[in-house]
Structure 1
């Protein structure tokens, strides 16, 4: 099985619906709770192998940030890092989690750090994998999209799909099979997904990570960096 549990539970958070999934141990009481935060151009689908392994012992909570994966909708909610961090904080409250472990990748790291340092969310531990935080960040492709996202969103469907597949394949390195690349690219290859792909990149800015960096010394839980 390669897909997340379907259908997702759609939770209304701060004016928009968030697609979520929860995996639990098949037997026994969970050892704790783990929240997984994806980056870009990813979704909760990226975490599936990790989530299944963790779910042997923990309750594992996954969410697709609005504008990503199963949370791509027609309502066009704000997709900047500030809104995403507020949603994570509210989602943890909705789940009624007491100091979960949080594992975060890429911009998901900025979202998790912002939730912890600026919104006051309490974590048992924080594992940060290749996160976006210290300026400068953002590739030349990010800068190109920021300047021309409306033009790129109008690319012919086949050219856009080829770009997304190449982008995901390059970011994933040798770890992703062609079939896995297709799975991860699928949400971005619909008409709504194409617009969402360039829109989320254009919304990402170091201005939203600067306040987080200024308070990194105030982290209140064990932190591991990969």
Structure 2
């Protein structure tokens, strides 16, 4: 069994309702008491894993929760972790007929946390997952203890050309080998140094079926800059760490600097030798810095 197949095998499922649509969310859960009251039909235990809130990991496009494969285990040593596949991604619902924008993903996150009986969280997010996290933290400042953003979409920083091209109407009819070639370019050329074949294979896997191919196009066309330009960044109260791959050209570190100016309790920690896929490029350093932040005493 491959690494991504093992990850999928360990995922649980939960039902959510987004804009009146009943959808299924696949999520990876680990850490102390991760199974307490959290079967596939939802949970009854609030904030399992001691007094500390769970750490929720949000991925971007065109990834899925497997992005966090080398970060989650370190954090799960002493914290409950929850890493969902966004709707339209990974092993979550992919069929047509629902919105996949970051506005809708925020609704999904809120309903998933309610289903799991989780009130307060620490959010760790990358790419469009960062946009989801920013919206949630701005709309629910009392529910987010820590906010960790990595090469996140914000303001008018997105969509990038690669994603916009995936959302063109004729991409649905694209030959599968051509789609795979585009994804190879994104994950192989987007890695700092030699890309891990297990990472590349795992990232591509959800998109290589007919349903996955179509869903990826729907996800790409759902990118909407208005959903980050409308955020009141000054309302975010969470202690915020901008853990940014400093060599990224898709979401340059200049946007992290802008976030640091607008979010009250924030600081930038650049990670060198990292492009856009910073949780993969610098997974050990990423996990160490995240664990250090989470272990700091509350002030």
Q: TM-score, normalised by structure 1?
A: 0.89
Aligned position for 1:48 = 69
SS in 2 for 1:71: coil
Deviations 1:92-142 (A, max 9, x none): 222222321110111101101112213566111110111000214222223
Q: Is the CA contact (8 Å cut-off) linking 2:27 and 2:85 kept in structure 1?
A: yes
Aligned position for 1:113 = 134
Aligned position for 2:153 = 132
Aligned position for 1:223 = 240
Q: Which structure has the higher relative contact order (CA within 8 Å, separation 6+)?
A: 1
SS in 1 for 2:189: helix
Larger relative helix fraction: 1
Question: Is 1:17 aligned to 2:20, yes or no?
Answer: no
Q: Is the CA contact (8 Å cut-off) linking 1:86 and 1:119 kept in structure 2?
A: no
Cα gap change, 1:163 to 1:121, in 2 (>3 Å): farther
SS in 1 for 2:7: coil
Aligned partners of 1:10, 1:121: CA distance in 2, in Å?
27
Q: Is the CA contact (8 Å cut-off) linking 1:101 and 1:126 kept in structure 2?
A: yes
Aligned partners of 2:31, 2:157: CA distance in 1, in Å?
38
Aligned position for 2:291 = none
SS in 1 for 2:84: strand
Aligned position for 1:63 = 84
Deviates more, 1:118-127 or 1:92-101: 118-127
Q: 2:215 is matched with which residue: 189, 193, 196?
A: 196
> Cα offset for 1:173?
3.2
* Contiguous gaps of at least 5 residues in structure 2: 34-48, 244-299
SS in 2 for 1:164: helix
Cα gap change, 1:145 to 1:74, in 2 (>3 Å): closer
Q: Is the CA contact (8 Å cut-off) linking 1:127 and 1:224 kept in structure 2?
A: yes
Matches within 5 A, 1:1-226: 2=3, 3-4=6-7, 6-14=9-17, 15-25=22-32, 30=50, 32=52, 33-118=54-139, 122-146=143-167, 148=168, 150-174=169-193, 176-212=195-231, 215-226=232-243
Cα gap change, 1:175 to 1:135, in 2 (>3 Å): farther
Deviations 1:154-184 (A, max 9, x none): 1111111111122222333336312320111
SS in 2 for 1:209: helix
Cα gap change, 1:203 to 1:222, in 2 (>3 Å): same
Aligned partners of 2:166, 2:157: CA distance in 1, in Å?
17
Aligned partners of 2:123, 2:194: CA distance in 1, in Å?
23
Aligned partners of 2:161, 2:176: CA distance in 1, in Å?
23
Cα gap change, 1:175 to 1:19, in 2 (>3 Å): farther
Q: Is the CA contact (8 Å cut-off) linking 2:131 and 2:228 kept in structure 1?
A: yes
